[in-house]
Amino acid sequence: MRSYKLSAIYSFLFLAVFAVGLSAQTPTPTPIEEEEGVVKVESRLIVVPVAITNSAGEPVQGLTQRDFRIAEEGRNQVIETVANADAVPLEIVLLFDVSASTDAMFKFQQETAAKFLQEVMRTEDRATIFTIGENPQLIQARETAERSMVAVRSIVPAKKYTAFYDSIGEAGNYLQRNAPSGTRRVIVVISDGEDTNSTRVAKAIQDGYVKAGRSVNTLDQKALYQLTVKNRDTAAMQERVRIVKSLQDADTVFYSINPAGSSYQLNKMSQFGQENMQKFADETGGTAFLPKFLPVDTKDALANTVNMKRNAEMLEKIFKQLAAELRAQYLVQYYSDGDYSNGKFVKLNVSLNGRSDLKVRARQGYYVKN
């Protein structure tokens, strides 16, 4: 993940469950007849997936409507219902990073992810499989758990460029286009979050060279590198904002598992990648897992074997936690009669009455679609 698909002049340079949204705003059957036959929709049904965990990070079940409180733009709302997700079909998109950052853990990540799908999916649920590589690649469209497991196990790693932003955006768009209404929508990503090849990032770097004109030929390696990083980072920040909106528009909850482990701290690009995934998770009510994987490519073969086993156990634990959250989530529903302009981001705050000992995770808001 450290090289760019750019022109030769800089080719030496380097670059999830639980809760998901049912539709954030399902049109309600509460129209008001107005003069000359014009019908105005007075309110919108807002559905907010919510995860409740205790101090040990375990999902908490058994809460009722009286336990929840929700505010929209600071105004308390009347909760219509609090539903259990068991009765709601799940639409999950699983994305595998197949770029140069993959390592000896890749095969185990595949197998563990396949078992996760088998464990969490029911007959009516569907999974879609993408890979994150040079371009977003749809490996399998919406299918059952059994066929999805086969698709996951068929993925082959490739040491190529990484279009991370393009892939996440495409996954969100896919759900928005293809997931039936009234379904829970989740994106689960196995990646370090770094990007070296998304369309807007690559274009920003190329445009930077064009803007520099002939002077680019006089830059030494250090100056050329600084120019590249500046343009890349500017584009990356813009992409972060774009992807957050894309996920919110798709009513999707984002989860990620970073296989880089503690090594993500080695450079700014890796840190930014993890920050991206944390941002996406925070905004949608998901989780960005950062397991402390141990190195498995040292000169000590015995240590590699022991570390591989420990890493495998850690990954299994994460997927079990993810599956438990998906099976124990709440869907809080209320009618909003706020008069908001189309496209406005409406801030939400979900909390519990008298349960400060529990942690609440929910989407931070929704974009109005009039």
> Residue 269 has what pLDDT?
79
> Residue 31 has what pLDDT?
45
Phi and psi torsions of 164, nearest 5°: -65, -55
Whether residue 218 contacts residue 257, with contact meaning beta carbons closer than 8 Å, is answered with: no
To which H or E segment does residue 172 belong?
helix 164-178
Q: Strand 359-362 relative to strand 44-53: parallel, antiparallel, unpaired? A: antiparallel
> Residue 301 has what pLDDT?
86
Tens of pLDDT along the chain (370 residues)?
Answer: 444 443 433 333 333 333 334 444 544 444 444 444 444 445 778 888 888 888 888 888 889 999 999 999 999 999 998 877 777 788 999 999 987 554 567 888 888 899 999 989 999 999 999 999 888 999 999 999 999 999 999 998 887 788 999 999 999 999 999 998 878 899 999 988 888 888 888 888 777 777 777 776 677 777 776 777 787 888 888 889 899 988 988 888 999 998 876 665 667 878 888 999 999 999 999 999 988 888 777 888 898 889 888 888 888 888 888 888 887 788 888 998 788 888 889 999 999 998 889 999 999 998 887 6
Q: Which residue ranges make up each domain of the chain?
A: 8-15+86-330
String of DSSP letters for 199-253: HHHHHHHHHHHHHHGGGGGG--HHHHHHHHHHHHHHHHHHHHHHHHHHHHHTT-E
pLDDT (tens digit per residue) in 24-60 = 454 444 444 444 444 444 577 888 888 888 888 888 8
> Residue 264 has what pLDDT?
59
What contacts 134, CB < 8 A, 6 or more positions away? 5, 99, 158, 160, 161, 162, 163, 197
CA-CA distance, 11 to 243, in Å (whole number)? 27
Write down the architecture of domain 8-15+86-330 according to CATH: 3-Layer(aba) Sandwich (3.40)
What contacts 12, CB < 8 A, 6 or more positions away? 221
The answer to pTM > 0.85 is no
Whether residue 264 contacts residue 231, with contact meaning beta carbons closer than 8 Å, is answered with: no
**Tokens matching residue 73:** 């733009």
CA distance readout (Å), 256 to 31, 97, 278, 287: 40, 11, 8, 7
